[in-house]
Amino acid sequence: MMQNDFTKQWTELSKASMESLQKMNQTNIDNFNNMLKGQLPQMGDLNLGQAPFGSLKELQDFNSATLNNFFQGQFNALNMTFMASSMKELMEINISTMNTLIQRQVETTNVLTECTTHCVENLKDAKTPEDVVRASNENIAELQEKLRDDAEKTAAAFNQIKAAMTIWTEKTLEGAMSEVKKG
């Protein structure tokens, strides 16, 4: 029920945002056209109706079509084998990343479990309040040391992931640029 309300609110907000953007765009187009109409009489006998673009909207559509054609040509120029190979490498990096992060989570959980077990064993042996305080301090020191080591291993894993992504990005960009130059 709550998700439906949330979805409904999100949809209504999205529609309102789109309507607002459309109104702003139309206002900008109208203002630009009025500015052109105000400037053209000062430029001589030019008639806005004779101009190749009667409105900013037509100019925008023309520019969009031209850019779309350009980018479509560039995309078609890319070798699809190169793209497939690049995406396969990215998926391998993602799978390796997930495996590494899962392994790090398991190792962190093991560290916490071992420390908790050791803490309980130490507290069982405590006979006096001083023994409890001493055991607690030892347990905290041990936990801090193990968590610090675990955090360093996790940071090293993230550095390896970052290095793999950097190499992939550079390789992909270089390959894409060479493919575009070929095409």
The predicted-structure confidence for 78-136, as pLDDT tens digits, reads as follows 566 667 788 888 889 989 899 898 988 888 888 888 888 888 888 888 888 898 888 88
Please check the confidence at residue 22 and state whether its pLDDT lies above 90.
no
pLDDT of residue 86: 82
**How deeply is 12 buried, as exposed, middle or buried, from its count of CB atoms within 10 A (0-12, 13-18, 19+)?**
exposed
The DSSP call for residue 45 is: S
d(CA 30, CA 56): 8
pLDDT of residue 43: 45
Residues in Cβ contact with 53 at an 8 Å cutoff, skipping those fewer than 6 apart: 59, 62
Mean pLDDT for 47-76 is: 58
Q: Is the dihedral of CA 171, 176, 179, 181 positive or negative?
A: negative
How many C-beta neighbours within 10 Å does residue 122 have? 17
pLDDT of residue 122: 83
Are 175 and 89 in contact by the 8 Å Cβ rule? The answer is no
pLDDT of residue 44: 45
What is the pLDDT confidence band of residue 50, given thresholds at 50, 70 and 90? very low
The tokens 């190499």 sit on which residue? 167
Percentage, residues of the chain above pLDDT 90: 14
Closest CA to 163 of 173, 153, 171: 171
The predicted-structure confidence for 150-172, as pLDDT tens digits, reads as follows 999 999 999 999 999 999 999 88
The tokens 């190792």 sit on which residue? 107
Residues in Cβ contact with 154 at an 8 Å cutoff, skipping those fewer than 6 apart: 104, 108
Helix (H, G, I), strand (E, B) or coil at 125: helix
